[in-house]
């Protein structure tokens, strides 16, 4: 028995579990309530639950065999030699790839992310592990992470910062041989800042997170890694110095020799300076010569199509933190260093992190084809250098696949279904009614999940009993379910569907063909516009006309996302063109047999076809029209398609009550989109186009 518990413990410390449905299901069976209480954190769960009880349940519910089988699968995964990378590239001296990002979205209990950038970084690591890439990653261990969203009495978003107890999370502190924490040190102009290092295992990949909450630091420096995207410019520059420069010192301290450096968004671009410094010291050469060498092994991925989205620091802050560094470490005047990120090349402007990265990366890429076109216009690089490429984002499919969906793939393609190259095109072999049954199960678990969360909240704030029991009437497990969930940034237009409330009301109050909407998402704490959108949606959800058919789910995170993308029949996305660089949530719905309904922006321009989903039409000259007019035209198209195509098709059933035409569309969506819009394809592209090109 002790052995079984040890196996569970070992598993809990490798985030392999975050893409393993069986793991979740075993914890639910041990004790569902406690699993939820732990925020689906297996380390906390196992460290706090009564051990006799635990052994007892494992015995009684016959979980021993299942845990053992899962453990063996895990060992096989970790020790697998026949990986993509090994088969194609392995040499004794495989170059290490270093990946840096300010946020990582890996599991619910690791609150180190805010949205799409984080989930993309997390998915990148998971696929790198699946493919056997020799990749290490660096980020920051935020003691409060990103905020927890709750909706207050006035229907507005408020924020709560919960402490992350790292000792109770799937991460371990790196220690030296005397069991003291290993630390890196940053020499700021007037003081030293220290950071300890937490190691996370994501399958075969390691992620190192820096944490400044150590005794040596003063109170302010301790708080450098308190919250993600919080505080003003000074806090941000300190975080980014820690990530970029500190990140390189982690590799040095651990003796990791990387040959390719992936700067995922501008936050980590200061690594360029530290690398130049290291190259200068190693080869005893000057700044410019070292810069040329450094350039060839950096890759920069840009994620924003608008200048306002870029990280920028005022000159005085750069002077404060980099004058000493430039003169003493790089042996150049401050102005020379500043030029690397000086957007307008006038010496007194702001310092632009994307510019720093672009100037120092041989390979720059945007995250979809359209974003590539925009980024090339935005940055217009000199013709003699390689131009901005496009590597379209993807998602780690297993992370977002529901248990019901996975069961269906297992049933038809066996336990190793995921390794089967043709699984997506062979989805036509799964009978229509089986796909439909799975859709119904996915929808039902979403409806239950939402009801449970809402009931919990009502209990917590002491709402009267009848209001709590009334939650049973919320949503209908058989109604056409439309989901909209992402960050509430105004450009994503979370309220477009309400532009003509009368039309929406007509659709939503039809009792023969029921439809319902589920919304979720956080607004940045300082984004009043985003918060207004949330308030607007919540006020509609309280409106009698929409009651029980329209809900807002608090505190969107990767766990809510998994239920939503698998439970919804339609995944709605209606950003303002061309502001969605890629978007990924729609990709998560595909292998779960959901369909996309989207504006032609980001990845959907590449993915859309009439066989794979629906597209909202935009006016030809959308760039020259007033915003209001564009919104009007696009929302009309949205209503038209919903009314004339989507709803009728969903309710057109055969004699077994299966919507055959709908399922046909689902099958082609899986066949066309799943093989392309995933991080396995994406990471292979990064590997082949860049990582392996570095000499
Ligand atoms: C996938 C995901 C996102 C990104 O969604 P987009 O549609 O790309 O904006 C944001 N937050 C969470 C929790 C996600 O899982």
Q: Are residues 100 and 193 in the same domain?
A: yes
Distance CA 686, CA 389 (A): 11
- CB of 601 sitting under 6 A from ligand 1: no
Short-list 276, 458, 455, CA closest to 356: 276
Nearest Cα residue to 558 out of 11, 19, 16: 19
The last residue of one of the domains, among 58, 79, 100, is 79
Confidence bin at 92 (pLDDT 50/70/90)? low
Residue predicted with more confidence, 419 or 695: 419
Residue 398 has pLDDT above 90, yes or no: yes
Ligand 1 near 486 CB (within 6 A): yes
Tell me the average pLDDT across 660-673: 98
Query: Is 456 inside a domain boundary?
Result: no
- Classify 426 as helix, strand or coil: helix
| Section 47-59 average pLDDT | 97
DSSP class of residue 182?
P
Same domain, 589 and 625: yes
Neighbours of 568 (CB within 10 A): 26
Q: Residue 361's CB: how many other CB atoms inside 10 A?
A: 26
The DSSP H or E segment spanning 613 is: strand 613-616
Residue nearest to atom 15 of ligand 1 (CA): 558
pLDDT tens across 94-112, in order? 779 999 999 999 999 999 9
Instruction: Kindly give, in sequence order, each residue whose CB lies less than 8 Å from that of residue 688, ignoring residues fewer than 6 positions away.
Output: none
Task: Judge if 31 and 127 occupy the same domain.
Answer: no
In three-state secondary structure terms, 260 is strand
CA-based nearest residue to 572, from 636, 616, 530, 634: 616
Q: What are phi and psi of 283, to 5 degrees?
A: -105, 5
44-56 burial: b if 16+ Cβ within 10 Å, else e: bbbeebeeeebee
CATH value at residue 293: 3.40.50.2000
Residue 2 is predicted with a pLDDT of 87
Give 596 Cα–ligand 1 centroid separation in angstroms: 14
Please, are residues 545 and 505 in contact by the beta-carbon 8 Å criterion? yes
Contact, 527 vs 488, CB < 8 A? Answer: yes
Is the C-alpha dihedral spanning 37, 41, 44, 48 positive or negative? Answer: positive
Q: Are residues 390 and 403 in the same domain?
A: no
For 359, counting Cβ atoms within 10 Å of its Cβ (0-12 exposed, 13-18 middle, 19+ buried), the class is buried
Ligand 1 and 585: CB distance under 6 A? yes
Assigned domain for 458 exists: no
Pair 437, 512 in one domain: yes
361 and 441 share one domain: no
Residues in the chain: 695
Q: Is residue 460 part of a domain?
A: no
DSSP state of 587: H
Instruction: List C-alpha distances in Å: 676 to 386, 401, 421, 603, 679.
Output: 25, 16, 12, 11, 9
77-80, long-range: CB within 8 Å, 24+ apart, which pairs? 77/16, 77/203, 77/204, 78/14, 78/16, 78/203, 78/204, 80/132
Do 64 and 162 reside in the same domain of the chain?
Answer: no
Q: Do 64 and 182 fall within a single domain?
A: no
Average pLDDT over residues 555-563: 98
462 falls within a domain: no
Alpha helices in 421-511 (DSSP H): 432-460, 465-469, 501-508
What mean pLDDT is reported for the chain? 95
Predicted TM-score of the model (pTM): 0.97
Euclidean distance between CA atoms 39 and 36, whole angstroms: 5
Say if ligand 1 is within 6 A of residue 119 CB.
yes
- Compute the C-alpha angle 590/574/440, nearest 5°: 35
561 lines ligand 1 (CB under 6 A): yes
Q: Whose CA is nearest to atom 1 of ligand 1?
A: 585
Q: Is the dihedral of CA 95, 101, 103, 105 positive or negative?
A: negative
State the helix-helix crossing angle for 64-79 and 21-37, rounded to 10 degrees. 120
The Cα 383–Cα 693 span in angstroms is 21
Q: Look up the domain containing 329 and give its range.
A: 84-394+683-693
Give me the DSSP letters along 303-371.
--SSGGGS-EE-HHHHHHHHHHIIIIII-S-HHHHHHTTBTTSSSSS-EEHHHHHHHT-SEEEESSHHH
For 519, how many CA atoms within 13 A lie in the half-sphere containing its CB?
25
Percent of the chain whose predicted confidence (pLDDT) is above 70: 99
- What is the spatial distance between Cα 256 and Cα 676, in angstroms, rounded to a whole number? 33
With respect to residue 55, please indicate whether it lies within any of the assigned structural domains.
Answer: yes
The predicted model gives 691-695 an average pLDDT of 89
How many Å apart are CA 445 and CA 568, to the nearest integer?
Answer: 10
- What is the spatial distance between Cα 497 and Cα 540, in angstroms, rounded to a whole number? 11
Q: Tell whether ligand 1 has an atom less than 6 A from the beta carbon of residue 326.
A: no
Q: Ligand 1: which residue has its CA nearest to atom 7?
A: 585
Q: In this model, does residue 347 exceed pLDDT 70?
A: no
| 695, pLDDT greater than 90 | no
- Examine the pLDDT at 346 and tell me if it is beyond 90: no
Q: How far is CA 585 from the centre of its chain?
A: 9
User: Is residue 466 domain-resident?
Assistant: no
Q: Is residue 120 part of a domain?
A: yes
pLDDT bucket at 308, cuts 50 / 70 / 90: confident
- Answer whether 244 contacts ligand 1 (Cβ < 6 A): no
Q: Please, which pLDDT band fits residue 528 given cuts at 50, 70 and 90?
A: very high
pLDDT of residue 681: 97
Pairwise CA distance, residues 413 & 425, whole Å: 12
For ligand 1, the distance from its centroid to the CA atom of residue 137, given in whole angstroms, is: 21
Phi, psi of 55 (to 5 degrees): -65, -40
Question: Confidence band (pLDDT; 50, 70, 90) for 419?
Answer: confident
307 — pLDDT class (breaks 50, 70, 90): confident
- Which of helix, strand or coil describes residue 685? helix
User: Residue 310: what pLDDT?
Assistant: 86
Do residues 200 and 70 both lie within one domain? Answer: no
What tens digit of pLDDT does each residue of 433-459 get? 999 999 999 999 999 999 999 999 999
The CB of 580 under 6 Å from ligand 1? The reply is no
Q: How far is the CA of 486 from the centre of ligand 1 (A)?
A: 5
Q: Are residues 401 and 374 in the same domain?
A: no
At residue 220's C-alpha, the angle toward residues 219 and 224, to 5°, is 120
Do 271 and 343 share a structural domain? yes
pLDDT at position 462 is 95
Cβ of 386: how many Cβ atoms within 10 Å? Answer: 10
Alpha-carbon 513 to chain mean position: 34
459 in a structural domain: no
- Other CB atoms within a 10 A radius of the CB of residue 474 amount to 18
pLDDT of residue 351: 94
Query: What pLDDT shows up at residue 349?
Result: 78
Q: CA-CA distance, 467 to 463, in Å (whole number)?
A: 7
Closest CA to 316 of 269, 350, 355: 350
Number of domains in the chain: 3
CA triple 83-268-285, angle to 5 deg: 95
Let me know whether 49 and 156 are in one domain.
no
Ligand 1 atom having least distance to the Cα of 114: 11
Tens-place pLDDT, residues 221-232: 999 999 999 889
The ligand 1 atom at the shortest distance from the C-alpha of residue 400 is: 15
CB atoms within 10 A of CB 524: 20
């Amino acid at each position: 028995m002790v052995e079984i518990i040890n196996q569970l413990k070992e598993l809990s410390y490798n985030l392999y579990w975050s893409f393993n449905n069986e793991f979740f299901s075993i914890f639910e069976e041990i004790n569902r309530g406690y699993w939820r209480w732990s925020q689906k954190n297996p380390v906390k769960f196992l460290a706090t639950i009564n051990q006799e009880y635990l052994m007892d349940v494992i015995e009684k519910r016959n979980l021993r065999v299942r845990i053992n089988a899962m453990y063996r699968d895990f060992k096989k995964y970790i020790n697998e030699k026949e990986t993509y990378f090994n088969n194609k590239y392995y040499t004794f001296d495989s170059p290490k790839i270093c990946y840096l990002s300010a946020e990582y979205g890996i599991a619910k209990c690791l609150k180190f992310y805010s949205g799409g950038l984080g989930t993309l970084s997390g998915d990148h690591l998971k696929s790198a592990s699946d493919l056997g890439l020799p990749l290490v990653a660096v980020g920051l261990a935020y003691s409060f992470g990103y905020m927890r969203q709750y909706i207050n009495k006035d229907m507005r978003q408020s924020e709560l910062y919960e402490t992350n107890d790292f000792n109770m999370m799937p991460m371990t502190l790196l220690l030296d041989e005397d069991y003291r924490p290993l630390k890196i040190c940053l020499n700021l102009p007037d003081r030293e800042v220290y950071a300890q290092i937490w190691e996370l295992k994501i399958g075969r990949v390691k992620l190192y997170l820096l944490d400044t909450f150590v005794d040596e630091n003063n109170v302010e420096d301790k708080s450098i890694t308190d919250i993600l995207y919080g505080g003003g410019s000074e806090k941000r520059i300190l975080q980014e110095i820690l990530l970029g420069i500190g990140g390189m010192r982690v590799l040095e301290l651990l003796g990791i020799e990387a040959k390719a450096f992936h700067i995922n968004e501008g936050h980590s671009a200061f690594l360029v300076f530290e690398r130049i410094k290291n190259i200068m010291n190693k080869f005893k050469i000057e700044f410019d010569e070292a810069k040329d060498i450094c350039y060839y092994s950096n890759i920069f991925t840009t994620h924003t199509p608008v200048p306002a989205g870029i990280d920028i620091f005022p000159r005085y802050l750069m002077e404060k933190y980099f004058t000493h560094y430039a003169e003493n470490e790089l042996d150049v005047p401050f102005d020379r260093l500043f030029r690397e990120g000086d957007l307008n090349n006038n010496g007194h402007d702001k310092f632009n992190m994307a510019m720093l990265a672009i100037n120092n990366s041989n390979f720059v890429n945007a995250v979809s084809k359209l974003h590539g076109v925009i980024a090339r216009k935005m940055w217009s690089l000199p013709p003699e250098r390689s131009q901005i490429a496009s590597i379209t984002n993807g998602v780690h499919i297993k992370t977002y696949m529901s248990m019901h969906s996975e069961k269906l793939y297992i049933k038809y393609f066996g336990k190793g279904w995921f390794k089967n190259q043709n699984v997506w095109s062979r989805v036509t072999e799964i009978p229509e009614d089986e796909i439909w049954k799975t859709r119904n199960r996915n929808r039902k678990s979403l409806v239950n999940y939402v009801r449970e969360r809402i009931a919990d909240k009502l209990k917590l704030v002491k709402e009267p009993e009848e209001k709590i029991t009334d939650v049973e009437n919320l949503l209908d497990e058989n109604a056409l379910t439309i989901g909209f969930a992402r960050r509430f940034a105004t450009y994503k237009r979370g309220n477009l569907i309400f532009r003509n409330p009368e039309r929406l009301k007509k659709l939503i109050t039809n009792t023969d063909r029921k439809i319902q909407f589920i919304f979720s998402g956080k607004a940045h704490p300082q984004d009043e516009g985003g918060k207004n959108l949330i308030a607007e949606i919540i006020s509609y959800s309280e409106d009698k006309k929409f009651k029980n058919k329209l809900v807002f789910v608090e505190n969107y995170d990767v766990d809510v996302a998994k239920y939503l993308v698998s439970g919804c029949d339609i995944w709605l996305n209606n950003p303002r063109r061309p502001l969605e660089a890629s978007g990924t949530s729609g990709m998560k719905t595909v292998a779960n047999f959901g369909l996309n309904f989207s504006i032609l922006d980001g990845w959907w321009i590449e993915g859309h076809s009439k066989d794979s989903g629906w597209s909202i039409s935009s006016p030809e000259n959308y760039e020259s029209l007033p915003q209001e007019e564009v919104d009007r035209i696009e929302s009309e198209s949205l209503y038209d398609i919903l009314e004339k195509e989507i709803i009728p098709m969903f309710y057109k059933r055969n004699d077994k009550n299966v919507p055959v035409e709908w399922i046909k569309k689902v099958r082609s969506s899986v066949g066309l989109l799943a093989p392309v819009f995933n991080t396995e394809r994406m990471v292979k592209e990064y590997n082949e186009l860049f990582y392996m090109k570095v000499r």
